[in-house]
Amino acid sequence: MLAIENAGPPDGVTVREWVAQDYSRAYSLWDRCELTLGVSDSEVEIDRHVKRNPTLALVAASGDELVGTVLGGYDGRRGIIHHLAVDPDWRNRGIARALMRTLEERMKRLGVVKINFWIEARNGGAVAFYKRIGYATRELITMSKSLHPGEPVRSSEDRTP
């Protein structure tokens, strides 16, 4: 992984581990950032993820205001990233870089050697950001199936830009 230079958060912003009380503000942030959200983003499911990966679920906060999130996971071989999001009013201040630097450092300590994640094709800004911090694109097909009765897999096409 490429080291992320000058990746500290801006003054007044701290990166810390997720706590249960972060969920409602995080969900609101994800919606403002136009993430495609579904049943796996329910409070119960996010809580399960955080309990499984407590040191890899991070938020950026300015006082009581939640301004960024990233949910990391580790399956014993590879790291995974979900929901890197920064409030649109707080972008371009180093918050995403600080979240990613912290997450990468923690993953390295766990023995992660490779990180994988998905970006919706409509999110060119995210692709550009990750390329700037050393990630490469791979041409893959993602397949999904919901195991929750009656819950279809949500397509990125379900969300209007």
Alpha carbon of residue 67 to chain centroid? 12
Q: What is the mean pLDDT of residues 85-100?
A: 96
Q: Average pLDDT for residues 8-30, to the nearest whole number?
A: 93
Q: For residue range 62-74, what is the model confidence (pLDDT) as tens digits?
A: 999 999 999 999 9
Q: What's the pLDDT tens digit per position in 39-61?
A: 899 999 999 999 999 999 999 99
Between 3.40.630.30, 3.50.30.40, 3.40.50.10440, 3.30.1180.10, what CATH number should domain 14-158 receive? 3.40.630.30
Classified as helix, coil or strand, 161 is coil
pLDDT at 1: 39
**Confidence band for 153, pLDDT divided at 50, 70 and 90:** low
pLDDT interval class at 100 (50, 70, 90): very high
Q: In the 3-class helix/strand/coil scheme, how is the chain assigned residue by residue?
A: CCCCCCCCCCCCCEEEECCHHHHHHHHHHHHHCCCCCCHHHCHHHHHHHHHHCCCCEEEEEECCEEEEEEEEEECCCCEEEEEEEECHHHCCCCHHHHHHHHHHHHHHHHCCCCEEECCCCCCHHHHHHHHHCCCCCCCCCCCCCCCCCCCCCCCHHHCCC
Q: What mean pLDDT do residues 33-43 have?
A: 92
Give the C-alpha separation, 11 to 150, whole Å. Answer: 46
Which of 2-11, 36-45, 147-156 is least confident?
A: 2-11
Cα distance between residue 104 and residue 147, in whole Å:
30
- Do the beta carbons of residue 41 and residue 85 sit within 8 Å? no
| Reported pTM | 0.83
Sign (positive/negative) of CA torsion 52, 54, 59, 63?
positive
